[in-house]
DNA sequence: TTAGTTTATCGCCAATAGACGATAGGTTTA
DNA sequence: TAAACCTATCGTCTATTGGCGATAAACTAA
């Protein structure tokens, strides 16, 4: 994008909401989060079994969810346990709530 | 994306939520919608004045919001009046609500 | 009919996203 | 130590996104 440097300034809430929404903007990531809500937590391998996607692809989606703050990874060697990041989850929840009135 | 043809099948709600989220995944579009919530309605030209973006860019964002169903355009020649699509807005609202529990 | 106004679309370009296979980096177990 | 297991990262590819200017399309007003 040509204007990536001379960035438009938006309100903090607007940026935050867009960031969360962007992370939710792919059905696989929605499905991952729904899965995490049910199971409360799970490992990467569990998800690779659930979705017909390469392990690297699932890992990439997890990374994006983690970057958005929606999930967090806990080292349980040799596995990694992913859970909803409850704090940011609540922030996202209230941002969407407020947005939709 | 290599697998765009052999698409994964997700639940209807998952697809719908991802579609709405994707449309919300850009700060400009969030800002446009917030503006529409305040003004209830507005014309393309109004938004072009508000945002430091080319007219074609604003038009493009409006198109994406319309494709997602979040807004609708009403012909008021020679202008076009954009408003929130209340029906789909409520659908989106409840999908996000349900998603976040 | 002509000119002006308003918005959508087209064509282009750079950057990002989404998929994959292959590889690397841990940890556990034999 | 060696082998096995689990996950992240790298490199590559294609599709999509987001920006712009220029142009087209549709309507109004002179």
By C-alpha to C1' distance, C14 is nearest to A1
Give the chain A residue whose CA is nearest to the CA of B7: A52
Per the listing, tokens 């938004």 go with B47
> Of chain B residues 60-89, which have a beta carbon within 7 Å of strand D?
60-61, 64, 77-78
pLDDT in tens, A9-63: 899 999 999 999 999 999 999 999 999 998 888 999 999 999 999 999 999 999 9
Structure confidence at residue A4 as a pLDDT band (50, 70, 90): very low
Q: What is the pLDDT along chain B (101 residues), one digit of tens a residue?
A: 655 446 788 999 999 999 999 999 999 999 999 999 988 889 999 999 999 999 999 999 999 999 999 999 988 777 899 999 999 999 999 999 999 98
Kindly provide the residue ranges of all beta strands, DSSP E only, lying in A1-101, ordered along the sequence: 41-43, 71-76, 79-84
Domains and CATH numbers, chain B: 12-100 (1.10.10.10)
Q: Are A88 and A95 in contact, with CB atoms under 8 Å apart?
A: no
Q: Are B83 and B71 in contact, with CB atoms under 8 Å apart?
A: yes
């Amino acid at each position: 994008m040509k204007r990536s440097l001379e960035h438009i300034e938006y309100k903090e809430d607007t940026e935050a909401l867009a960031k969360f929404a962007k992370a939710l903007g792919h059905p696989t990531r929605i499905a991952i989060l729904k899965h995490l809500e049910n199971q409360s937590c799970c490992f990467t391998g569990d998800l690779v079994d659930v979705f017909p996607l390469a392990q690297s692809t699932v890992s990439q989606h997890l990374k994006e969810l983690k970057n958005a703050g929606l999930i967090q990874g806990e080292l349980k060697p040799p596995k990694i346990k992913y859970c909803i990041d409850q704090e940011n989850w609540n922030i996202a929840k209230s941002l969407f709530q407020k947005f939709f009135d």
